[in-house]
Chains A and B, each alone.
Chain A
Amino acid sequence: MNVIFTEHLLSVMIAIPFLGIAIIACVQDQEWIRRVALGSTMGDAVLSLVLLKEFDFSMQGMQFVERLAWMPTFNIQYAVGVDGISLLLVLLTTLLCPFCVLCSWNAITTRVRSFMAMILLVEGAMIVVFTALDLFLFFMLWEVTMIPMYFMIILWGGPQRIAAGIKFVLYSLSGSLILLLAILGLYVEGGRTFDILVLAEQTYSPDAQFWIFLAFFLAFAIKLPMLPFHTWLPDAHSEAPTAGSVILAGVLLKMGGYGFLRFCLPMFPEASVTFAPFILWLSVAGILYGGYMALAQSDLKKLVAYSSISHMGFVTLGIFVFNNHGIQGAILQMVNHGLRPALSFWPLVNCMTGPIAGRFKITVAYRNPCPGLWRSFVSFPWPHLDCRERATLLENFWFWSEHPLKVILWFCCPWEELFWLQRICSGCCNESFWVNPKAPPFPN
Chain B
Amino acid sequence: MTFLILIPLLPLIAALILLLGKPWLGEQGHKIGIPAIAISFAFSTIAFVRVASDGAFSISLYRLIQSGDLVVDLGLYVDQLTVLLLLLVSGVSSVVHIYASRYMIGDPKYNRFFAVMALFTFSMIMLVMSNNLLMMYMFWEIMGICSYLLISHWGERKSSAQAATKAFLVNSVADVGLGFGVILTYSTFGTFDIQSILAQAQSMPESTINLFGWLGLDIRIDVLTLITLFLFMGAMGKSAQVPLHVWLPFAMEAPTPVSALIHAATMVNAGPFLLVRMSPLVILSPKAMTVIALIGGMTALFATLVSLTQVDIKRMLAFSTIGQIGFMVMTCGVGAFVVSIFHMLAHGCLKGFLFLSTGNALRSVGSHGYEPSFVSKPGVTVPSMWPLVSGTVLLACLPPVLLFSGPYEQLWMAQSMASALWTFRILAFLTVFLTAVYVFRGVQMLFHSQASSVHGAGMVTDATHPRLFSSRHFLGALLVIGAMGSLLLVLWSWFAEFLSPVVGHRLTLKPIEWSFAMNPHLVIALLLAIGGVGVGYLSLDIFSRSRFRQSSWGKRWYVHFLNKLYFDELYEAYVVQPTLGFAHWLWRVVDREVFDALILGVANGSVVTAKWLWRVVDLRGIDGLVVGLGRNSVGMAGWLWRVVDLRGVDRVVVGIGKQSIGIANWLWKSIDIKILDKQVSRIGDQAEATGDMMRELEPRTLQHHLLVMIFWLIIGMLALFWFVL
Interface residues of chain A, those whose CB is within 8 Å of chain B, are 167, 170-171, 228, 230-232, 289, 292-293, 295-297, 323-325, 328, 369, 371, 374-375, 377-379, 383-384, 386-388, 390-392, 394-395, 398-399, 401-404, 410-411, 413-415, 417-418, 421-422, 425-428, 431-440, 442-443
Ordered by A's residue number, 9 sampled pairs between the chains whose C-beta atoms are within 8 Å are A232-B599, A295-B584, A383-B138, A410-B180, A418-B172, A425-B164, A433-B165, A434-B166, A443-B156
Chain B residues, CB < 8 A from A231: 591, 595-596, 599
Chain B residues, CB < 8 A from A293: 583, 586-587, 591
Chain A residues, CB < 8 A from B186: 395
Is the pair B67, A391 in contact by a Cβ cutoff of 8 Å?
Answer: no
Is the pair B599, A171 in contact by a Cβ cutoff of 8 Å?
Answer: yes
Is the pair B166, A325 in contact by a Cβ cutoff of 8 Å?
Answer: no
Is the pair A418, B579 in contact by a Cβ cutoff of 8 Å?
Answer: no
CB B115 to nearest CB in A, in angstroms, measures 8
Is the pair A433, B161 in contact by a Cβ cutoff of 8 Å?
Answer: yes
A384 to B137, CA, bound (A): 9
Is the pair A432, B159 in contact by a Cβ cutoff of 8 Å?
Answer: no
Chain B residues, CB < 8 A from A387: 137-138, 141, 179
Most buried by A among B65, B137, B584: B65
Is the pair A436, B162 in contact by a Cβ cutoff of 8 Å?
Answer: yes
Is the pair A383, B596 in contact by a Cβ cutoff of 8 Å?
Answer: no
Chain B residues, CB < 8 A from A297: 587
Partner of A440, one of B144, B159, B172, B587: B159
Per-residue 0/1 for B42-60: is the Cβ within 8 Å of any A Cβ (1 yes, 0 no)?
0000000000000000000
Chain A residues, CB < 8 A from B511: none
CB A92 to nearest CB in B, in angstroms, measures 19
In chain A, what residue has the closest Cβ to B15? A378
| Contact flag A434-B156 (CB < 8 Å), given A293-B583, A379-B19, A426-B164 | no
| Contact flag A325-B165 (CB < 8 Å), given A378-B145, A383-B145, A391-B182 | no
CB B217 to nearest CB in A, in angstroms, measures 11
CB A191 to nearest CB in B, in angstroms, measures 33
Chain B residues, CB < 8 A from A383: 138, 141-142, 144-145
Is the pair B576, A432 in contact by a Cβ cutoff of 8 Å?
Answer: yes
Instruction: Mark the stretch among B88-96, B208-216, B267-275, B392-400 that contacts chain A.
Output: B208-216
Is the pair B179, A391 in contact by a Cβ cutoff of 8 Å?
Answer: yes
Per-residue 0/1 for B155-187: is the Cβ within 8 Å of any A Cβ (1 yes, 0 no)?
111111111111011001101100110111011
Is the pair A377, B149 in contact by a Cβ cutoff of 8 Å?
Answer: yes
Is the pair B372, A432 in contact by a Cβ cutoff of 8 Å?
Answer: no
Partner of A295, one of B157, B168, B580, B588: B580
| Contact flag A292-B572 (CB < 8 Å), given A391-B182, A436-B163, A442-B157 | no
A371 to B109, CA, bound (A): 9
In chain A, what residue has the closest Cβ to B175? A414
| Contact flag A427-B161 (CB < 8 Å), given A325-B68, A399-B187 | yes
Is the pair A391, B134 in contact by a Cβ cutoff of 8 Å?
Answer: yes
Is the pair A422, B161 in contact by a Cβ cutoff of 8 Å?
Answer: yes
| Contact flag A391-B137 (CB < 8 Å), given A325-B67, A398-B183 | yes
| Contact flag A439-B141 (CB < 8 Å), given A289-B586, A374-B149 | no
Chain A residues, CB < 8 A from B87: none
Is the pair B155, A426 in contact by a Cβ cutoff of 8 Å?
Answer: yes
Chain A residues, CB < 8 A from B183: 391, 394-395, 398
CB A208 to nearest CB in B, in angstroms, measures 28
In chain A, what residue has the closest Cβ to B246? A434
Complex A-B, nearest 8 residue pairs according to Cβ-Cβ distance, in ascending order: A426-B161, A414-B172, A295-B583, A296-B587, A433-B162, A434-B572, A324-B68, A296-B583
Most buried by B among A390, A428, A443: A428
A399 to B183, CA, bound (A): 10
Chain B residues, CB < 8 A from A434: 162, 166, 568, 571-572, 576
A302 to B370, CA, bound (A): 35
B577: CB under 8 A from chain A?
yes
Which chain B residues numbered 127 to 163 have a C-beta less than 8 Å away from chain A?
A: 134, 137-138, 141-142, 144-145, 148-149, 152, 154-163
In chain A, what residue has the closest Cβ to B584? A296
Is the pair B112, A374 in contact by a Cβ cutoff of 8 Å?
Answer: yes
CB A174 to nearest CB in B, in angstroms, measures 9
Chain A residues, CB < 8 A from B637: none
A437 to B370, CA, bound (A): 13
B603: CB under 8 A from chain A?
yes
Is the pair A398, B580 in contact by a Cβ cutoff of 8 Å?
Answer: no
CB A310 to nearest CB in B, in angstroms, measures 12
A276 to B583, CA, bound (A): 28
B346: CB under 8 A from chain A?
no
Which chain B residues numbered 551 to 577 have a C-beta less than 8 Å away from chain A?
A: 568-569, 571-572, 576-577
Partner of A228, one of B20, B161, B572, B595: B595
| Contact flag A439-B595 (CB < 8 Å), given A293-B587, A374-B149 | no
Chain A residues, CB < 8 A from B625: none
A383 to B119, CA, bound (A): 13
A38 to B172, CA, bound (A): 40
Chain B residues, CB < 8 A from A428: 158, 161-162, 165
CB A153 to nearest CB in B, in angstroms, measures 17
In chain B, what residue has the closest Cβ to A294? B583
Partner of B603, one of A170, A394, A435: A170
CB A88 to nearest CB in B, in angstroms, measures 14
Per-residue 0/1 for B191-224: is the Cβ within 8 Å of any A Cβ (1 yes, 0 no)?
0000000000000000000100111000000000
Chain B residues, CB < 8 A from A431: 158
A387 to B577, CA, bound (A): 27
A403 to B370, CA, bound (A): 46
CB A438 to nearest CB in B, in angstroms, measures 8
In chain A, what residue has the closest Cβ to B569? A435
Chain A residues, CB < 8 A from B70: 325, 392, 395
Is the pair B149, A418 in contact by a Cβ cutoff of 8 Å?
Answer: no
B295: CB under 8 A from chain A?
no
Is the pair A439, B159 in contact by a Cβ cutoff of 8 Å?
Answer: yes
Chain B residues, CB < 8 A from A328: 67
Is the pair A440, B158 in contact by a Cβ cutoff of 8 Å?
Answer: yes
Is the pair A414, B158 in contact by a Cβ cutoff of 8 Å?
Answer: no
B516: CB under 8 A from chain A?
no
Is the pair B19, A375 in contact by a Cβ cutoff of 8 Å?
Answer: yes
CB A232 to nearest CB in B, in angstroms, measures 8
Chain A residues, CB < 8 A from B145: 377-378, 383
| Contact flag A421-B65 (CB < 8 Å), given A369-B156, A414-B175, A439-B370 | no
Chain A residues, CB < 8 A from B116: 378
In chain B, what residue has the closest Cβ to A390? B179
CB B136 to nearest CB in A, in angstroms, measures 11
Known: A324-B67, A414-B176, A422-B164. 7 other contacts (CB 8 A): A295-B579, A410-B180, A433-B161, A435-B572, A436-B250, A439-B159, A442-B156
CB B110 to nearest CB in A, in angstroms, measures 13
Is the pair A421, B168 in contact by a Cβ cutoff of 8 Å?
Answer: yes
CB B74 to nearest CB in A, in angstroms, measures 11
Chain A residues, CB < 8 A from B141: 383-384, 386-387
| Contact flag A437-B568 (CB < 8 Å), given A324-B67, A421-B148 | no
Chain B residues, CB < 8 A from A232: 599
A4 to B253, CA, bound (A): 63
Is the pair A432, B180 in contact by a Cβ cutoff of 8 Å?
Answer: no
Chain B residues, CB < 8 A from A427: 155, 161
Chain B residues, CB < 8 A from A399: 187
